Copies of this chain bind each other. A is one copy, B any other.
Amino acid sequence: MDTANSGRESSAARIEQALLEDIAIGELEPGARLDETRLAERFGVSRTPVREALNRLTAQGVLVTGEKRGVRVAQYSREELAQMFEAMHEIEALCAGLAAQRLTLLARSELEKAQAECVAAAATGDRLRYLKANEALHFLIYRATRNIYIEALAVDFRRRTGPFRAKKFATREDLVASATSHEELLQTIFSADSERASDGMRRHMTASFLRVLALN
C-alpha cells in the first residue's frame, strides 16, 4: 500500500479522521446510518479497516450502535444536549480554576498570544480563522491545568460538542462578543484567583451554551 496510503497513518486511522471531519462539518448528520460496505467502497479499502475505525469511534461515543442494525452518528435530545453542555461547562470551569492556580509565565504569554489572534480574527470577521483561534485558546487553557487527564477530558468534550457549537458563530458580532468574553476570562485566570476563574469560565460558557440550545 505504498501508493494508496500516502501518509504514515494506517487506513483505519485515516478513515477515523475522515469520518470525524465529516461529522464535524455536518456532512454526516446526527442519526445518519453508516454502512460498512459503502464506506469500504468510498475509501477504496476492505471492510476490515472500516470496522476498526467504526469501533474506535463508537468507543469514543461519536457513533452509537443503535437498537436496530448498523451504527449511527450519535444524536442527542435537547435534554442530552443540555446535559452534555453542562458537563463541558463544569469541566471548563475546572480547567480555568486549575489554570489560575498553576499558570507559568510561558503559559501566560502563550494565552495572551492566542487571545490576540482571536481578537484579530474576530476583527476581520473571518469565521474559520476565528474558530481555529478559539479552539487554540481553549486548548491552551486546558494545557495550563498541567494535568494531562483533565486536559484530555476537556479536549474530548470539546470534540464531542463541536458539531453543535459550530453553528454558533454566525456574524462578526458573535465573534467579537466571544473574543471580549475571553478577555475577561483571561484576566481572571491571570489574577490567580481560582474560584473567580472558575466562575468566569462558567459565565463564558453559559453564554455560549444558551445560544447553542436556542439553535438546536
User: Is A86 in the interface zone, CB < 8 Å from B?
Assistant: yes
User: Is A166 in the interface zone, CB < 8 Å from B?
Assistant: no
Q: Are B56 and A147 in contact (CB under 8 A)?
A: no
Interface residues of A, dominant DSSP: helix
Q: Give the CA-CA distance A83 to B145 in the complex, in Å.
A: 10
Looking at the assembled complex, report how far the CB atom of A134 sits from the nearest CB atom of chain B, in whole angstroms: 22
Interface extent on A, as a size class? 20 to 34
Q: How many chain copies does the complex carry?
A: 2
Q: Report which of B80, B90, B94 forms a contact with A148, defined as CB distance below 8 A.
A: B80
Q: Are B59 and A147 in contact (CB under 8 A)?
A: no
Known contacts A59-B60, A60-B59; A84 and B149 CB within 8 A of each other: yes
Provide the residues of chain B in CB contact with A83, threshold 8 Å: 147-150
A residues in contact (CB < 8 Å) with B: 48, 51-52, 55-56, 59-60, 80, 83-84, 86-87, 90, 94, 98, 147-150, 153, 157
List 15 interface pairs A-B (beta carbons < 8 Å), by A numbering.
A48-B48, A52-B55, A55-B55, A59-B59, A80-B148, A83-B147, A83-B148, A83-B150, A86-B147, A86-B149, A86-B150, A87-B149, A90-B98, A149-B157, A153-B153
Known: A59-B59, A86-B147, A87-B153; 15 extra A-B contacts, CB below 8 A, are A48-B48, A51-B52, A52-B55, A55-B55, A55-B59, A59-B60, A80-B148, A83-B147, A87-B149, A87-B150, A90-B94, A90-B150, A94-B94, A149-B157, A153-B153
